[in-house]
Amino acid sequence: MTVRVALVGGPMYDHLYEAFRPGEVEVLVHADHPTLNREVARMLAAGERIDVLATHSKYAPSQAQWLRPLGDLVDAGVIDALAPRAVSLCRFEGVQLCLPRLVDVRVLWVRSDRVDRSPDTWEALVDSDMVFGFPGRESGLFGGFFELVVGYGGELFDAQLRPTMATAEAEHAIEMLCRLAARAPRDLVDWHYDQVDAALLDGRIDAAAAWPGAWGAIRDSDLADRLVPHLYPAGPARRVSYAGCHAWAIPNSCDDLDGAVALLRRLLGADLQALDAAGGNICAHRDALAQVAPGNEVDRRRLEITRRTIDDAMITYPPLARFPEIEDAGWSAIRDALRGQLSPRAAARAIQSAAEQVLARRP
């Protein structure tokens, strides 16, 4: 039986799918993550068959009602080979909802022929004339907001997981994003991750943050000799990069459990994890990642920066079943601020109000 899969798509992820064997899978969805989430939610709510699902540690809690626990389905040896912190991020309320494909944190890439000295702090970046590109919509925009809030000493949720977004730190974060967007290309408000990477490689911006999987395109581009990796900018409280794990899950609607588990074992095994790492991703398989040899000095430095960021600066969202709804409300309000339709204060209050309403609704 052919395994039916739903895949996240884009240049950072697609190189792995070339390893699928003829007739091994039927691809039901292949799209950017927000589109994937919406289509998968529709299909699973309707009971449609999906055998293996690409998900993310921050989104899996919202899909928990549709996912099979993996702790007893996948061999312990397969799980033990993966980075423990990544495995932990893929648990929700003690249940192993998914297993990690890779760990994502962002690295700052700067055009050395345009920028003499890369700003080390957000304040220095905003006060410079450097054109910094970032996602102007969806999860990437809300993630940038998250980084700035935490970098300036704030939080999005308190210890009881109540939203705390109508704060001075949140307003300041939105104000800084507005100032950065004001000198970037006007269509930034329509950019998702892939469009940010394209703008960097097309020379439309001077710098951008990129996930590890963007390395392949950077390495092969005409600007490879002018793009230099740097640590992500720091706030006055700390240097942070919002992060998480792309992961694999098996839905309850799976109709080929043996095939799905066999595919997961292959996807999480050393060979395919090494293939993922060859494209730039920080794969979850510890031995496969340890065997990645830098291709040149720039590659060595980007791996060093990425590992340092994972060790010292990685922040993740709290596991909330309603998080995607909060994220959608949040990025929409921030985008309105980028367009000049809301003040930073009004946007922060709108995010807080929307988050409170989402969490007050019954599941």
pLDDT at residue 93 in the model? 94
How far from chain centre, in Å, is Cα 216?
Answer: 17
- Domains in the chain (CATH in brackets) are 3-104+244-290 (3.40.190.10), 107-242+315-360 (3.40.190.10)
End-to-end C-alpha distance for the chain, whole angstroms: 35
CB 250 within 8 Å of CB 95: no
Q: What does DSSP say about strands 91-92 and 3-8: parallel, antiparallel, or unpaired?
A: unpaired
Could you list the pLDDT tens digit for every one of the 363 residues in the chain? 799 999 999 999 999 999 999 999 999 999 999 899 999 999 999 999 999 999 999 999 999 999 999 999 999 999 999 999 999 999 999 999 999 999 999 999 999 999 999 999 999 999 999 999 999 999 999 999 999 999 999 999 999 999 999 999 999 999 999 999 999 999 999 999 999 999 999 999 999 999 999 999 999 999 999 999 999 999 999 999 999 999 999 999 999 999 999 999 999 999 999 999 999 999 999 999 999 889 899 999 999 999 999 999 999 999 899 999 999 989 999 999 999 999 999 999 999 999 999 998 866
pLDDT at residue 362 in the model? 64
- Is the alpha carbon torsion for 299, 305, 308, 310 positive or negative? negative
Give the tokens for residue 26: 């039927």
Alpha-carbon distance of 40 to 173, in angstroms, equals 32
pLDDT at residue 1 in the model? 76
HEC assignment per residue over the chain: CCEEEEEECCCCCHHHHHHCCCCCEEEEEEECHHHHHHHHHHHHHCCCCCCEEEEECCCHHHHHHHECCCCCCCCHHHHHCECHHHHHHCEECCEECCEEEEEECCEEEEECCCCCCCCCEHHHHHHCCCCEECCCCHHHHHHHHHHHHHHCCCCCECCCCCECCCCHHHHHHHHHHHHHHHCCCHHHHHCCHHHHHHHHHCCCCCEEEECHHHHHHHHCCCCCCCEEEECCCECCCCECEECEEEEEECECCCCCHHHHHHHHHHHHCHHHHHHHHHCCCEECEHHHHHCCCCCCHHHHHHHHHHHHHHHHCEECCCCCCCHHHHHHHHHHHHHHHHCCCCCHHHHHHHHHHHHHHHHHCCC
The pTM for the full model equals 0.93
Alpha-carbon distance of 15 to 341, in angstroms, equals 40
CB 146 within 8 Å of CB 313: no
pLDDT at residue 361 in the model? 82
